[in-house]
Amino acid sequence: MQDCIFCKIVKGEIPSIRIYEDDRVLAFADINPITTGHTLIIPKAHAADIWEISAEDLTAIAAASKKVADAIRTALAPAGMAVAQLNGRAVNQVVMHYHMHLIPRREEDPELPMTAWELKPGDMDLIRQTAGKISAAIG
Protein backbone atom coordinates (compact mmCIF):
# COMPACT_ATOMS: atom_id res chain seq x y z
CA MET A 1 0.00 0.00 0.00
CA GLN A 2 1.44 3.31 -1.12
CA ASP A 3 1.33 5.45 1.99
CA CYS A 4 1.93 2.69 4.51
CA ILE A 5 5.12 3.09 6.53
CA PHE A 6 5.53 -0.65 7.12
CA CYS A 7 5.04 -1.43 3.41
CA LYS A 8 7.86 1.07 2.80
CA ILE A 9 10.01 -0.80 5.33
CA VAL A 10 9.28 -4.10 3.53
CA LYS A 11 10.34 -2.52 0.20
CA GLY A 12 13.47 -0.98 1.76
CA GLU A 13 12.25 2.54 0.94
CA ILE A 14 12.79 3.60 4.54
CA PRO A 15 15.41 2.14 6.85
CA SER A 16 14.79 -0.50 9.48
CA ILE A 17 16.88 -2.70 11.72
CA ARG A 18 16.04 -6.14 10.32
CA ILE A 19 16.14 -9.14 12.62
CA TYR A 20 14.56 -11.96 10.58
CA GLU A 21 12.70 -12.46 7.33
CA ASP A 22 11.29 -15.14 5.08
CA ASP A 23 9.14 -14.96 1.96
CA ARG A 24 6.00 -13.94 3.90
CA VAL A 25 7.13 -12.03 7.00
CA LEU A 26 9.66 -9.52 8.31
CA ALA A 27 10.79 -8.96 11.91
CA PHE A 28 12.52 -5.69 12.82
CA ALA A 29 13.38 -3.60 15.86
CA ASP A 30 10.77 -1.15 17.18
CA ILE A 31 12.34 2.33 17.15
CA ASN A 32 10.37 3.44 20.22
CA PRO A 33 11.10 0.35 22.30
CA ILE A 34 9.12 -0.18 25.49
CA THR A 35 12.00 -2.42 26.61
CA THR A 36 15.37 -3.53 25.25
CA GLY A 37 14.71 -6.04 22.47
CA HIS A 38 11.17 -4.82 21.59
CA THR A 39 10.60 -6.41 18.15
CA LEU A 40 7.81 -6.21 15.57
CA ILE A 41 6.79 -8.98 13.16
CA ILE A 42 4.76 -8.01 10.10
CA PRO A 43 3.41 -9.70 6.99
CA LYS A 44 5.13 -8.52 3.79
CA ALA A 45 1.73 -8.28 2.09
CA HIS A 46 -0.25 -5.31 3.37
CA ALA A 47 -3.12 -6.13 5.72
CA ALA A 48 -4.41 -3.63 8.28
CA ASP A 49 -5.31 -5.99 11.09
CA ILE A 50 -6.36 -9.47 12.19
CA TRP A 51 -9.57 -9.18 10.18
CA GLU A 52 -7.73 -8.41 6.94
CA ILE A 53 -4.68 -10.67 7.18
CA SER A 54 -4.84 -14.03 5.35
CA ALA A 55 -4.76 -17.25 7.37
CA GLU A 56 -1.53 -18.19 5.56
CA ASP A 57 0.21 -14.97 6.56
CA LEU A 58 -1.07 -15.26 10.12
CA THR A 59 0.32 -18.80 10.29
CA ALA A 60 3.66 -17.50 8.99
CA ILE A 61 3.63 -14.76 11.66
CA ALA A 62 3.00 -17.39 14.36
CA ALA A 63 5.87 -19.57 13.12
CA ALA A 64 8.22 -16.56 12.93
CA SER A 65 7.17 -15.41 16.40
CA LYS A 66 8.33 -18.75 17.80
CA LYS A 67 11.71 -18.40 16.04
CA VAL A 68 12.24 -14.81 17.13
CA ALA A 69 10.98 -15.46 20.68
CA ASP A 70 13.44 -18.33 21.03
CA ALA A 71 16.23 -16.06 19.75
CA ILE A 72 15.24 -13.27 22.16
CA ARG A 73 15.45 -15.76 25.03
CA THR A 74 18.86 -17.00 23.90
CA ALA A 75 20.24 -13.51 23.25
CA LEU A 76 18.73 -11.51 26.11
CA ALA A 77 17.54 -14.03 28.74
CA PRO A 78 14.53 -11.92 29.73
CA ALA A 79 12.48 -12.75 32.84
CA GLY A 80 9.32 -12.82 30.67
CA MET A 81 7.93 -11.57 27.39
CA ALA A 82 4.60 -10.06 26.34
CA VAL A 83 3.21 -10.79 22.88
CA ALA A 84 0.76 -8.06 21.93
CA GLN A 85 -1.13 -7.12 18.80
CA LEU A 86 -3.58 -4.23 18.50
CA ASN A 87 -6.49 -4.07 16.05
CA GLY A 88 -8.15 -0.72 15.38
CA ARG A 89 -7.82 2.86 16.52
CA ALA A 90 -10.12 2.12 19.47
CA VAL A 91 -7.35 0.03 21.07
CA ASN A 92 -4.59 2.45 20.06
CA GLN A 93 -3.33 0.72 16.92
CA VAL A 94 -1.21 3.50 15.42
CA VAL A 95 0.30 1.88 12.32
CA MET A 96 -2.50 0.35 10.26
CA HIS A 97 -0.40 -2.55 8.92
CA TYR A 98 -0.73 -5.70 11.03
CA HIS A 99 2.17 -6.09 13.47
CA MET A 100 2.84 -8.39 16.38
CA HIS A 101 4.88 -6.91 19.24
CA LEU A 102 7.37 -9.09 21.10
CA ILE A 103 8.26 -7.22 24.31
CA PRO A 104 10.78 -8.97 26.55
CA ARG A 105 10.96 -7.77 30.15
CA ARG A 106 13.93 -8.05 32.47
CA GLU A 107 13.25 -8.30 36.19
CA GLU A 108 14.49 -4.73 36.66
CA ASP A 109 12.27 -3.22 33.92
CA PRO A 110 9.10 -1.40 34.97
CA GLU A 111 5.89 -3.42 34.76
CA LEU A 112 4.50 -3.45 31.21
CA PRO A 113 1.27 -1.40 31.08
CA MET A 114 -0.68 -3.99 29.08
CA THR A 115 0.08 -6.76 31.57
CA ALA A 116 -1.06 -4.86 34.65
CA TRP A 117 -4.84 -5.10 34.47
CA GLU A 118 -6.83 -5.81 37.59
CA LEU A 119 -8.81 -9.06 37.83
CA LYS A 120 -12.42 -8.49 38.88
CA PRO A 121 -15.03 -11.29 38.91
CA GLY A 122 -17.38 -10.99 35.92
CA ASP A 123 -21.12 -11.45 35.51
CA MET A 124 -21.32 -15.20 34.74
CA ASP A 125 -24.62 -14.87 32.82
CA LEU A 126 -23.15 -12.22 30.57
CA ILE A 127 -19.93 -14.23 30.15
CA ARG A 128 -21.93 -17.33 29.08
CA GLN A 129 -24.24 -15.35 26.78
CA THR A 130 -21.33 -13.57 25.08
CA ALA A 131 -19.30 -16.78 24.67
CA GLY A 132 -22.39 -18.39 23.12
CA LYS A 133 -22.71 -15.54 20.59
CA ILE A 134 -19.06 -15.85 19.62
CA SER A 135 -19.05 -19.63 19.28
CA ALA A 136 -22.26 -19.50 17.22
CA ALA A 137 -20.56 -17.06 14.83
CA ILE A 138 -17.56 -19.31 14.15
CA GLY A 139 -17.70 -20.27 10.48
Q: Given the rule CB under 6 A, which residues bind ligand AMP? A: 5, 16, 30-32, 40, 86, 92-95, 99
HSE (CB half, 13 Å, CA atoms) of 68?
Answer: 30
- C-alpha neighbours within 13 Å on the C-beta side of residue 138: 5
What does the per-residue mask of binding to Zn ion show for 60-89, with x meaning CB under 5 A?
------------------------------
Q: Which residue is nearest to Zn ion (CB)?
A: 4
- Per CB under 5 A, does 46 bind Zn ion? yes
Q: What angle do CA 115, 117, 120 make, to 5 degrees?
A: 145
**At its nearest, how many Å lie between ligand AMP and the CB of residue 95?**
4
Is residue 99 among the annotated active site residues? yes
Q: How far is the CB of 52 from ligand AMP (least distance, A)?
A: 14
With CB under 5 to 8 Å by kind, the binding choice for 87 among ligand AMP, Zn ion, none is none
Burial 46-75 (b: 16+ CB within 10 A, else e): bbbbeeebeeebbebbeebbeebbebbeee
Catalytic residue ranges: 99
